[in-house]
Amino acid sequence: MHRRVMLITAAACLITLAAHAQQEILELDPLIVTGKTEATAAQLEAQTEAGSRLGITIKETPASVEIIPGEVVRERGDLNTQAAVARATGITPAGAPGDGSTALVARGFYGPNSVMQLYDGTRLYVAASTITFPVDTWVLDRVEVLRGPASVLYGEGSIGGAINFVPRQPNRKAASIDLIAAAGRFDTFRLGAAASGPISERAAYQVAAIGTKSNGFVDRGESERVSLASSLALDVTQDLTIKFSLDGTVNKPDRYFGTPLVNGKIDDRLREENYNVADSRISYEDYWSRLQAAWRASPTVSVRNELYFLTADRHWRNAEGFEFLPATSQVRRTTYIEILHDMQQTGNRFDVSVNDALFGHKNRFVGGVDLNKIRFRRDSNSPFGGESTVDAFNFAPGQFLHVDPTLPGFKSRITQYALFAEDAFDLTGSLKALAGLRYEKIDFTRDNLISGTSFAKKFDPLTWRLGAVYAINADTTLYGQVSRGVEALGDLVTLSLDESQFNLTKARQYELGVKKSFLAGRGEATFAVYDIVKKGLLVPDTAGGSVPVGQQSSRGVEVTLRLAATRTLSIEANLAALRAQFDDFSEDVGGTVVSRNGNQPVNVPERAANLWLTHTPHAQWRWGLGARYVGKRYADNANTIEVPAYTVLDAFVSYTPRASLTLSLRGRNLANRDYAIASYYTNTQFILGEQRAFELVAEARF
């Protein structure tokens, strides 16, 4: 509690100080209302950290990369980071409370290990499949998405892709204050502020904070969170800039672990029931501090360094397993789990960039060193015993059953060193060759705090990427790449003794694509085909554990379109179609070995699509309509339990009576579709998505 109070107080103080600092800077004269009357589609000329550290544009990158601007995320009503990412091509959410509700699926691969998440270009390491930061989209400047392996950039992991959440940045040109107040269905309330601007000719700042509280769409579904992102940039000299950032989140999400299935289906009668116990608990506290320095050593040489420290404290105490008993119309509750995480991640990344001619050809190079140390502790009440039975429709939640005591579990320590390099060489004026290489040395140690035993494991993977980009003309480029990636079996931070007996999972990807702008930059389209093979991995089994898989593959096609159809109408659409399957996998079922070859991996859809229409008929009025489709998935390796496909419709309408004020009405899941985000536990329950919800929003900007 005291940390949450400190975070809220710090946010309030920073915003108050920022407002006072701006009084000498901020122009208070009213602005002319012009509205957003001209749509734009340009994105291929933008640079991202997710696709490359070379400072090249998306059009020059031999990979599938896209950006979702923070303004667009917030306008559409995507309140959390997972909702925002679900608008990207082929990225589908599959989160549950056990993983921080952040698990994603991309290119046929599922989970935090296969779809890496970054914060401002720095990797967030996974512990027990759990990522809990960042949460709220109010503090973000943009979301960058790289589809396909990213091990060469960020280390082991990320066979499916990498998501980079970029926080708001200091504005050196003009001062501004943004305020938001919102109220919606399920007694949902949000209140936030953001301020940014120059302090002097050599310094600028930004601070953004928001608090959210809701009663949720299920019984006893209360949740609350506070998020903060702040930074101060200072030009020490004309060529040297340092920036200090402090970010954090205190998050208490709803304690909802899913709805039990009735005859393998979602039953509307149970839609709003929450079978967790009355004294259940989920809480996450994450704090991230960073010190960055950028030095322009010469017109062609730049040096960057980032020192960072992350702490993550997590606590779960819940009944997590639910099974409907048709004979008695009761629900059996099992798996009474209490788990505590204490994690610290300290690291430093140093790189040197050289942008100069090589053998008479334009060349861009970056090379560096990445060091980090992780300390992790888990306490729990393993083996998670306890069972109770309640009436499915009329029950008292009861209390948590302390069948097994919560005791110290284990500690793990990881030291990771990496050397990395990227290069882009212009063979001709139209043809670029790109290469990336990363060598890692990973030392892992795990101590059992009960038995006093320990074990250690070392890894030294080498990953690489080769690609080429050919510019047919100024508007069209073709590209191809081959890449190699690796992943730990399980989670590197919480590697078990059994998992440590295996080598790292290996993967390779081939990708070909085209990127094109047209209609004088008002339209952009991309097309990509890929083939990924992943060897030596683990997947969940029917008993709730994990089993080894020899090979899993995915082949697919992705298409994106951004079009400013008229001065007032813009269209964004994307489509992903793939074939994901087990190639070499046999599972023990009741003592009988059964082949799963050809089956679709759990939680992986083979079709996904997004569509957004945005229209500005008048300078003061703007509306948007969106549709998100996710194809059918399976909840088991045998592909006998189907998770139905779904389409969700969202919309917004906004009115800007004056430049400093916008009023909006936003709707989510307009058709009130019952749909499952993911299966959970022993495939007897689904994590359901939010019901129809509306929100009234007032935003002010000064």
Tokens coding 517: 């702008």
365 against 505, higher pLDDT: 365
Mean pLDDT score, 352-364: 95
Least confident of 18-27, 162-171, 354-363: 18-27
Buried b (16+ CB within 10 A) or exposed e, 512-538: ebebbbeeeebbbbbebebebbbbbbb
Query: What amino acid occupies position 695?
Result: E
Residue 34 lies in a domain: no
Distance CA 141, CA 631 (A): 30
Q: What is the pLDDT of residue 227?
A: 98
Tens-digit pLDDT profile for residues 502-538: 888 899 999 999 999 999 989 999 999 999 999 988 8
pLDDT of residue 41: 52
- What value does the mean pLDDT take over residues 487-511? 87
Tokens of 452: 């006093």
Q: Can you give the pLDDT at residue 86? A: 96
Q: What is the pLDDT of residue 370?
A: 95
3-state secondary structure of 503: coil
Position 92 in a domain: yes
- DSSP annotation of 31 reads P
Whether 198 is covered by a domain: the verdict is yes
Cα gap 262→393, rounded to integer Å: 13
Mean pLDDT for the stretch of residues 643-650: 97
pLDDT tens digits, 73-110? 999 999 999 999 999 999 999 999 988 999 999 999 99
Residue 31 lies in a domain: no
Q: How many domains in the chain? A: 1
Identify the three-state secondary structure at position 82. Answer: helix
Q: Is the pLDDT of residue 19 over 50?
A: no
Confidence at residue 14, expressed as pLDDT on a 0 to 100 scale? 38
Residues 164-177, mean pLDDT to the nearest whole number: 95
38 lies in a domain?
Answer: no
For residue 572, give the 3-state DSSP assignment: strand
Average pLDDT, integer, range 648-669? 97
pLDDT at 338 over 70: yes
Q: Tell me: pLDDT of 5 over 50.
A: no
Looking at residue 543, its pLDDT comes to 60
Please give, one letter per residue, the 3-state secondary structure of 409-448.
EEEEEEEEEEEEEEEEEECCCCEEEEEEEEEEEEEEEEEE
Q: Rg of the chain over CA atoms, in angstroms?
A: 25
> Exposed, middle or buried: residue 357 (CB in 10 Å: 0-12, 13-18, 19+)?
exposed
For residue 131, being part of any structural domain is answered with yes
| Tokens encoding 429 | 């004026």
Give the integer Cα–Cα distance in Å for 47 and 45: 7
Confidence at residue 159, expressed as pLDDT on a 0 to 100 scale: 84
Q: What is the reported pLDDT for 11? A: 42
In a domain, 103, yes or no: yes
Cα 359 to Cα 211, 394, 420, 426, 478, distances in angstroms: 55, 78, 23, 10, 25
Query: Tell me, what's the pLDDT at 113?
Result: 82
Burial classification of residue 456, based on how many CB atoms lie within 10 Å of its CB (0-12 exposed, 13-18 middle, 19 or more buried): exposed
Closest CA to 405 of 386, 431, 421, 419: 386
Q: Are 196 and 213 in contact (CB under 8 A)?
A: no
Residue 10 pLDDT level (bands cut at 50, 70, 90): very low
Give per-residue pLDDT as tens, 655-664: 999 999 999 9
In a domain, 128, yes or no: yes
Q: 149: pLDDT confidence band, cut at 50, 70 and 90? A: confident
Positive or negative torsion for Cα 490, 494, 497, 502: positive
Domain span at 59: 2-26+43-701
Q: How far is CA 393 from the centre of its chain?
A: 36
Percent of the chain scoring above 70 in pLDDT? 93
Phi-psi region of 89 (alpha: psi -120 to 50; beta: other; left: phi over 0): beta
State the average pLDDT over residues 168-189.
96
Alpha carbon 267 to its chain's center = 30
The pLDDT-based confidence of 429 (bands split at 50, 70, 90) is: very high
346-364 average pLDDT score? 96
Q: How far apart are CA 337 and CA 280, in angstroms?
A: 10
Q: What is the mean pLDDT of residues 391-413?
A: 95
Phi-psi region for residue 628, left (φ > 0), alpha (ψ -120 to 50) or beta? beta
Average pLDDT in the 176-205 region? Answer: 97
Extract the tokens encoding 49.
Answer: 């950290």
Give the whole-angstrom CA distance, residue 593 versus residue 392. Answer: 36
CATH of the domain at 561: 2.40.170.20
For the chain, percent of residues with pLDDT exceeding 90: 81
Structure letter (DSSP) for residue 669: S
Strands, E assignment, 473-606 = 476-487, 505-518, 523-540, 546-564, 569-584, 586-589, 592-595
Cα gap 22→200, rounded to integer Å: 11
Q: Average pLDDT, stretch 395-412?
A: 95
- What tens digit of pLDDT does each residue of 253-300 get? 999 999 999 988 999 999 999 999 999 999 999 999 999 999 999 999
Spatial CA neighbour of 366 closest among 283, 436, 293, 311:
436
CB 369 within 8 A of CB 419: yes
The whole-chain average pLDDT of the chain stands at: 91
Task: Give the length of the chain.
Answer: 702
Q: What is the reported pLDDT for 23?
A: 40
Q: What is the pLDDT of residues 566-621, one digit of tens each?
A: 999 999 999 999 999 999 999 888 889 999 999 999 999 999 999 999 999 999 99
Degrees (nearest 5) of the Cα angle 258, 266, 129? 30
pLDDT band at 542 (very low <50, low <70, confident <90, very high): low
Confidence class for position 13, pLDDT limits 50, 70, 90: very low
Q: Which two tokens stand for residue 114?
A: 């296969």
